[in-house]
Structures are given as structure tokens and as C-alpha cells.
A = this chain, B = another copy of it.
Amino acid sequence: MDPDVLRRLHDILGPAGVVADPDLLRGYLSDWRGAYQGTAAVVARPADTGQVAEILGLCHRRGVAVVPQGGNTGLCGGAVPDRSGTQLVLSTNRLRRIRGVDRADQTITVEAGVVLQTVQEAADAAGLLFPLSLGAEGSCTIGGNLATNAGGTAVVRYGTMRELTLGVEVVLPDGRIWNGLRGLRKDNTGYDLKQLFIGSEGTLGVITAAVLALHPAIRSRATAWVALSDPQAAVDLIEIVRATAGSRLSGFELMSAQSVEFVLRHVSGTRDPFGSAHPWFALLELSDPMADAPLAQTLETVLGEAFERELLRDAVVADGSTQVAALWALREGISEAQNHEGPSLKHDITVPISVIPAFVAATDDALRATMPGIRIVTYGHVGDGNLHYNLSKPPGTDDEVFRSRAAELARVVYDSTAGFAGSISAEHGLGQSKREVIADYKPAVELDLMRGIKQLFDPAGLMNPGKVLPEG
């Protein structure tokens, strides 16, 4: 990096704002899983929006590419620099002020580097709920959640990050600040620009703060674990639950037997609630802001109807918080458990809910035809049509042999997804890992418009180059 640019960075940020020590740099140059690796001479750590604006202005004048980075917990390499060593990593980890909580408005205004869990806790302290919830919540940041339009388990009830965002503050690639921090529920005064930045993975500018919507705190909860013969039973069950319980449904997770088997094998302290084999499982959660809402009763009504319609093989309603935690552990342990079985090839897709049964059957068949003995770890958020279609090697296969076929296996999953009118990235984004493959699945006119928008916002192509948009 040009020594004059380095000097200017030091002038703007001071010693605490520039990381150049190779030992400290390391954590910024690869993602948390170590799946992507890049290099950079320095990391800039601005402490406020003004400093972000100065840095982007400088980089714009000097032609330096910028890679925004939050908690670095992404799964597609969207926050990792390339290997050229010429890119500047801009970490948001000093932008961590909570600017305000408003109980009447049910809003919280936070800076990009605030950790998701911190926002959840601040909402809780105000007697409210910030419902976004996902595995990485202890380290991922709001900026990253916005950049990837994060999802998670509560989307079925509260929507994705997009639906939870009322306003954003953004520094544009040329260093101008757009203050779009409106805390309004309705605002129809032209194009809704915040929507472009949400989900753009740092390619159009740097989101520095946001006004987020809060919800009433939850005071009652009920959880059930059910065994199912097939995914169709899950689709039918969710229809019954919704018709009866409406928006009380705050979680509906589906898991294949293979997924649960891995958890029981590798995660200590987990145990099978039924003790006999079943092909599929689902975890249902109802919740209500009303204290003492009769949710267990509602759940029993729903499950009773489902038994009558022969949708369930077995069911248990959790009794007390220990049992609730034990059931969620079966769901939340899948990702970790799968790591004990060799490399995990992860695919995060959505299809319309109604086609899940046909999609799963077709995709499983195609995968088994491609690689006999492959172990398919299917689980996900059925209420959103979102399945994590993860793969483990056939027993006895060499790790590297399995990994070498990753692209081929991904194609099988993506082709099937596209055949069922789905999306090849439900909640993980495109980053660097899916930026080329998306070109085969998106209409040409849509890619054209995306490229036009990129060109409009970032004509010099300095914001997170090599991410999201396919070459050409």
C-alpha cells in the first residue's frame, strides 16, 4: 500500500484505528471457519461515521479498494479481502455505540459494529424484544446482519433483517454520508434506498448505523418435538399450526433423521426424546407477549388435530425450560456435530413451502446418483421454505476426494433448487463463493440491472470488489 495513503490513514484514525501488526492482522484476513484466506497491509478501525467518510473519501481519491468487515462470521467469504495485498479492510469493531432506545416508538438506533446479542440485551432491558436470532449472535454484528439481510429461526414470525430495519446511515463509496436514519413506519417519498444497501454485502457503501424495529417482549412460550414420516407431513402440520395459532408460531424447524443422528452421536448430553427411529423430526415453538397465555394447550390442540389426520408418528410437549433447552440443543447442535464426520459441504437454499416434499425427494435422488453413500444432512426453517442442504462424505471416503467434488455436488443442489423455482442463497448471501454460479440462475435482465446499480453507486469498483456480482 502507498506509504502516503498509510500516513493519511494514521492521521485520520490515530494509532488505535490502524492495525498493522501481523499477529493482530491475522484474525481479519480469514473468516471464522478458515475457509477463505486473504491478505492486507493494514486494517482501518474507524471510531465514528465521520472517520468512515474520511477513509472512503481517501480511498476513492487514491483508487484503494475497501473490504468492510463486521464480526467476520459469514459463510460465503463476503468480508475477506483478496490475496493481492492491495485492499484495505475496514472493520466496524469500534462503531459500537447504542445511540438510543425508544420504548414508545419500539425502536433502537445502533451503530454497525454492535454485536447482535448486545442489541438483543438492550431491547430486553427496555422490556422489548429484538427478534433476530441466529447461531453467530454472540459475535456477528448489526452491520453484517444488514449487509447480508440475516435470517435465522424467528423469520417465520418476524421476517428477516430487512423487515426489522426502519432506517440506515450509509457512507457512500465517494465518502459522502447519507443520513437515512428515519425511525418511521411509513414513508412514501420516493425510492426506498435503504433496501438497496440491505443485502448488498458491502458492495455499494458502508452502513454505519441503523434504526431497528423492536417488538413486545415474550412472556409465554411452548415448545414441542414431533416425529414425522416425511416432509409433506411438516408442510401439512405448519398449515394447521398457522390456521390455529397465527403469529404465535415463532419457530418451525425440520430435521432429517441423519441430522439428529449426528447430534446424538457427537454432542454430549443430548438424548433422543422418543427412543425409536423416525425418518424426520420437527421442533415447533409458540410464543406470546401475554403472561400465562395458554400456549401448551394451543399446542396440544394443534397436535391433536395433526394426530387425527395421521401426520404425526410421535410428539412431546416440553415441560419446563430444561426440556425446552434439551430440544433446541438437538437442532442447534447439527452444524457442530456434522464437523465430526469430515468436511461439511453447506448449501443454503429456499423453495416455495409447497414444493419442499418433491424438492427433497428429487434432490436426494440426484445426490445419491452422483455419489452413492453420501450422507445428506437436511434441516432448516420450514416456515420460510429455507433448508440447509448440507452434505457429509460416504463413510470411508477420503476428505480431499470428497472436497474435490464440492462444485459438482453444489451444482446438483442448485440445479434442483432452480428447477423448483427456488433461490440458491436463502440467508447466507453470495459473497465470493456464489458470485459466479449465480449468473447461471438469475435472469440476464436482473443481472444487467444489478450491474447498472453497482456502476451507479461505485463507478470505480472500489467497494468490496470480487463479491456478489459475477464477472463480465
A residues 421-456 touching B (CB-CB < 8 Å): 421-430, 434, 438, 441-443, 445-446, 449-450, 452-453, 456
Whether A450 lies near B190 (C-beta < 8 A) is: yes
Q: A188-B199, A195-B195, A385-B184 are in contact. Are A453 and B456 (CB under 8 A)?
A: yes
A196 within 8 A of partner (CB): yes
- The closest CB in chain B to the CB of A179 belongs to B443
A177 contacts which chain B residues (CB < 8 A)? Answer: 445
Whether A354 lies near B102 (C-beta < 8 A) is: yes
Q: A176-B445, A189-B438 are in contact. Are A184 and B102 (CB under 8 A)?
A: no
CA distance A245 to B216 in the complex (A): 9
The stretch of A8-16, A236-244, A270-278 in contact with B is A236-244
A365 within 8 A of partner (CB): no
CA distance A423 to B185 in the complex (A): 10
A residues 283-307 touching B (CB-CB < 8 Å): 288-290, 298
Cβ 8 A contact of A442, one of B190, B298, B427 = B190
Contact with B along A170-213 (1 / 0, CB 8 A): 00100011111011111111111101101110001000000000
A370 within 8 A of partner (CB): no
- The closest CB in chain B to the CB of A163 belongs to B163
Cβ 8 A contact of A184, one of B156, B176, B350 = B350
Classify chain A's interface size: 35 or more
Whether A243 lies near B289 (C-beta < 8 A) is: yes
Whether A196 lies near B191 (C-beta < 8 A) is: yes
A163 contacts which chain B residues (CB < 8 A)? Answer: 159, 163
User: What distance in Å separates the Cβ of A196 from its nearest Cβ neighbour in chain B?
Assistant: 6
- The closest CB in chain B to the CB of A287 belongs to B246
A103 within 8 A of partner (CB): yes
CA distance A385 to B182 in the complex (A): 12
A149 within 8 A of partner (CB): yes
Q: A105-B354, A195-B196, A246-B290 are in contact. Are A186 and B385 (CB under 8 A)?
A: yes
CA distance A155 to B213 in the complex (A): 14
Contact with B along A219-256 (1 / 0, CB 8 A): 00000000000000001101100111111000000000
A67 within 8 A of partner (CB): no
Whether B188 lies near A425 (C-beta < 8 A) is: yes
Whether A192 lies near B198 (C-beta < 8 A) is: yes
- The closest CB in chain B to the CB of A184 belongs to B350
> Which of A148, A192, A384, A450 is the most central at the interface, judged by chain B CB atoms within 10 Å of its CB?
A192
A93 within 8 A of partner (CB): no
A98 within 8 A of partner (CB): no
CA distance A46 to B39 in the complex (A): 56
Whether A453 lies near B102 (C-beta < 8 A) is: no
CA distance A84 to B151 in the complex (A): 49
Interface residues of A (CB under 8 A from B): 102-107, 127, 148-149, 151, 155-156, 159-160, 162-163, 172, 176-180, 182-193, 195-196, 198-200, 204, 215-217, 235-236, 238-239, 242-247, 288-290, 298, 350-354, 381, 383-386, 421-430, 434, 438, 441-443, 445-446, 449-450, 452-453, 456-457, 468-469
6 contacts between A and B (CB under 8 A): A103-B354, A105-B353, A107-B352, A185-B386, A217-B243, A246-B288
